[in-house]
Amino acid sequence: MQDSFLEQLNSAQLEAVKTIDGALLILAGAGSGKTKTITTRLAYLIDAVGIPPESCLTLTFTNKAAGEMQRRALSMIDNLSTHPPLLCTFHKFGLLFLKFYIVELGRKANFILADSEDSKRIIKELNNDLAPLPLVISEISRYKNSQITPQEALKNAYNANYEHIAKVYKEYQEFLVQKNMVDFDDLLLLPLEIMQKNPKIAENESKKYQYIMVDEYQDTNHLQYLLLKQLCSTHQNLCVVGDDDQSIYSWRGANIQNILQFSKQFQGAKVIKLEKNYRSTQAILKAANQLIANNKERLGKELKTTLEKGKPVEILHSSDEQAEVRRVATILKGLLSRGISPKQIAVLFRVNALSRSLEEGFNREKIPYVLVGAIRFYERSEIKDVLSYLRVLVNLDDDFSLTRILNKPKRGIGKTTIDKLLTLTQKYNTSIFGLFNESQENAQRLQDVQNTLSQKAYKTMKEFFITLQELQHNLQEASLNFPDEFERRIKLCEALGQSHEEIDRVSNIEEFYGVYREFFKQNPLSNLEDFLNDLALRSDQEDTEMRQESKGIEGVSCMSVHSSKGLEFDYVFVIGLEEGFFPMTREDSSLEEERRLAYVAFTRAKKELYLSFVDSRFYRGNRATLPPSKFLAESGVGNKGEAKQPKQNSFAPTIRRSFVNTSSESGFSKGDCVMHKILGAGRIVEVRQEGKTTRLKINFGGLEKEIFSDFVTKV
């Protein structure tokens, strides 16, 4: 490793790189060179200290981040004679672990990873609309991340609704095991279960990975913490890098206590703060620092810029959302006319619904833009069809995928025929493919199939399975040319018409074929199963970036603040800075996390930051009069009194009056059963109307709470 790499580090970064043994927390502020520090530390371990690469494990949260970190680390290593160190996401590590050890659970190693859409589809079919689907999905995920088994969930169900959810959870788990599938939560849960039940495996893994590093540690959940404890069972060489001020994912299980309590959880841990910021101007950092200083639950640090003072943060005060977008558009036109690339500009919002006025306004003003995170590429119907075909080619007994494609393209196999086939699979305890097995011992079964189906349907099914088996053989012969042969035999694109929507679907399928070819060019030793699992592990952000790059899209990035995490732009606009929108005022929202979210938004900006608020905004069919966000005053950027701190409780009645339905009747009555996202099921004991606002007193299992009607739904 060349000394020049170490010379590029500041004193805090260098100390972090050279701190080798024992637990280490690198508290890295936004733009403080955390990626440079962690990659240099990995290179230093291998090339300067002499740690074998296979003894190093680095975990992060996206495949893109893992790839970039590995590229940078390997470029600093002079002599890498063996395999490169393992640098991957937590979920990829879980996937690799299960390939070796899932047999410990009596499962086969050729499992298929169910993505979020697959899980949703399975649960929806099992749920029968008896409980709100989002609640069922989130509760099952919560059970898994809390290591609660279906039996325990059923035992502890405190009402009929949660008893139903526990039963769906049980059936869902049985379905996954039967079909040899695992979901995303299983990629963390099952490795932990295996190591907890088999301490020798945990010991072996810990001895194998003597030096472990974790990026974005503030985003880890409880399962990930427990996994790390298992992996560190024979040593304490755990280095975590993170920023407690950027912990913004509690809604998906991230536990900020992991980073706040790190020094207590790992004995003798050392803390090194990276406070030099190489991204933003002094004016931007001053606002961000003043804002986040209002949080009580933080370890404490203050970013110091290495750049010039820069242009003051600008407040944009407009009468309504239409005036807001006109004002933003005017500034954008000025930036673009100066030759600034639209790729260097972002418009951020806390609530996705605010993107509507942006789209309409930018279309009117002819400003090029990209709406990030709209529809995920791999969740499109036509792409799920291709993926289902590929899954069936991996496993012809995969009825879950097979039933999706039996009539795509149309081949005369309707729902009635599929239902008959599924009934027979239960009768003979086999798969649909197994029903057509022509071995002598299955003669009776085959005769039953022939008697159940029409002659045409039987012949079609036989021919279809012959085609699939021939494609399986072709797949082994020539991976790169497989999409051409697949399209020739299946004719998915040919079956689509010439409407604008269907032409777009054809281009999406062709784009997918390109992704397939590129994967096997880059990974010639991989198989189809590896490809499918790699796709399932892609994050929303990576998916969006892949599509934009492949289509050559260039425009101003419009996205939620959550989507902007990890990105940076020269010019950033944050719109919707009003009480109720940002910070969002919901019963389950945390003001400190909302403040961290605003801190993330501010620190995306490198050169100029614009903060926008309006006097009134149209939302959910109503116009609301809104005071400016308290975050404007807290960050010290309010000018001419425009962003003064709102009076205590001045906003709550205004915003709530404006957000309810326009009908005078609330639709709720005393005695109604309702469902609350957090509190579960309850019964209304009192209804009180205040103008257009409805307050409900609800009995949740003996505990009475007063709730606004917006937060509950009728059961």
* CATH number for the domain harbouring residue 122: 1.10.10.160
The predicted structure's pLDDT at residue 689? 79
Q: What is the mean pLDDT of residues 615-625?
A: 77
Q: Output the DSSP codes for 392-451.
A: HHH-TT-HHHHHHHTTSS--S--HHHHHHHHHHHHHHTS-HHHHT---GGGHHHHHHHHH
Question: 487 and 408: one domain?
Answer: yes
Question: 456 and 508: one domain?
Answer: yes
Question: 516 and 415: one domain?
Answer: yes
- Whole-number Å distance between alpha carbons of 251 and 254: 7
pLDDT digits (tens, 9 = 90+) for 330-381: 999 999 999 999 999 999 999 877 887 888 889 889 999 988 865 566 777 8
Query: Quick one: how many helices (H) and strands (E) in the chain?
Result: 32, 23
The predicted structure's pLDDT at residue 514? 81
Say whether pTM exceeds 0.85. Answer: no
In a domain, 539, yes or no: no
The predicted structure's pLDDT at residue 499? 56
Question: 438 and 487: one domain?
Answer: yes
In a domain, 597, yes or no: yes
The answer to whether the annotation marks 636 as part of a ligand binding site is: no
The predicted structure's pLDDT at residue 550? 44
- Give residues with Cβ within 8 angstroms of 164, minimum separation 6: 130, 131
The predicted structure's pLDDT at residue 554? 82
Question: 419 and 508: one domain?
Answer: yes
Q: Which two tokens stand for residue 417?
A: 């025929």
The answer to whether the annotation marks 32 as part of a ligand binding site is: yes
In a domain, 409, yes or no: yes
The answer to whether the annotation marks 300 as part of a ligand binding site is: no
The answer to whether the annotation marks 60 as part of a ligand binding site is: no
Domain boundary residue, one of 274, 292, 318: 274
- Whole-number Å distance between alpha carbons of 698 and 264: 40
Question: 145 and 122: one domain?
Answer: yes
Indicate if the pLDDT at residue 676 is higher than 80.
no
In a domain, 386, yes or no: no
The predicted structure's pLDDT at residue 382? 87
Asked which of 1-10, 44-53, 262-271 is least confident by mean pLDDT, the reply is 1-10
- Would you say 390 and 528 are in contact if contact means Cβ atoms under 8 Å apart? yes
- Whole-number Å distance between alpha carbons of 91 and 69: 17
The predicted structure's pLDDT at residue 429? 87
Question: 497 and 471: one domain?
Answer: yes
Work out how many domains the chain is built from and give that number.
5
The mean of the pLDDT values for the chain is: 85
The predicted structure's pLDDT at residue 651? 35
Indicate if the pLDDT at residue 124 is higher than 80.
yes
The predicted structure's pLDDT at residue 9? 93
The predicted structure's pLDDT at residue 1? 60
Domain boundary residue, one of 504, 533, 562: 533
Q: Which domain holds residue 165?
A: 112-179
- Would you say 559 and 348 are in contact if contact means Cβ atoms under 8 Å apart? yes
* CATH number for the domain harbouring residue 580: 3.40.50.300
The answer to whether the annotation marks 35 as part of a ligand binding site is: yes
- Crossing angle of helices 415-428 and 443-452, rounded to 10°: 160
In a domain, 78, yes or no: yes
The answer to whether the annotation marks 34 as part of a ligand binding site is: yes
pLDDT band at 659 (very low <50, low <70, confident <90, very high): very low
Indicate if the pLDDT at residue 217 is higher than 90.
yes
CB-neighbour burial class of residue 71 (10 A; exposed 0-12, middle 13-18, buried 19+): exposed
Bridge partner residues of 348 (DSSP) = 559, 574
- Would you say 616 and 624 are in contact if contact means Cβ atoms under 8 Å apart? yes
| Better pLDDT: 43 or 2 | 43
* CATH number for the domain harbouring residue 526: 1.10.486.10
Indicate if the pLDDT at residue 647 is higher than 50.
no
The answer to whether the annotation marks 552 as part of a ligand binding site is: no
pLDDT digits (tens, 9 = 90+) for 482-527: 888 898 899 888 887 655 566 667 877 887 888 888 888 888 888 8
Could you give the residue numbers annotated as active site?
A: 34-35, 215-216, 246, 604
Question: 165 and 197: one domain?
Answer: no
- Give residues with Cβ within 8 angstroms of 337, minimum separation 6: none
- Would you say 37 and 28 are in contact if contact means Cβ atoms under 8 Å apart? yes
* Residue pointed to by tokens 């189906």: 453
In a domain, 695, yes or no: yes
Question: 343 and 481: one domain?
Answer: no
In a domain, 291, yes or no: no
Question: 93 and 199: one domain?
Answer: yes
Question: 420 and 516: one domain?
Answer: yes
Q: Which two tokens stand for residue 75?
A: 């470029």
- Would you say 24 and 239 are in contact if contact means Cβ atoms under 8 Å apart? yes
Indicate if the pLDDT at residue 311 is higher than 60.
yes
pLDDT band at 661 (very low <50, low <70, confident <90, very high): very low
Top-ranked range on mean pLDDT: pick from 125-139, 397-411, 652-666: 397-411
The predicted structure's pLDDT at residue 375? 53
In a domain, 237, yes or no: yes
Question: 222 and 270: one domain?
Answer: yes
Q: Output the DSSP codes for 194-231.
A: HHHH-HHHHHHHHHH--EEEESSGGG--HHHHHHHHHH
Domain boundary residue, one of 635, 656, 682: 635
- Whole-number Å distance between alpha carbons of 47 and 151: 50
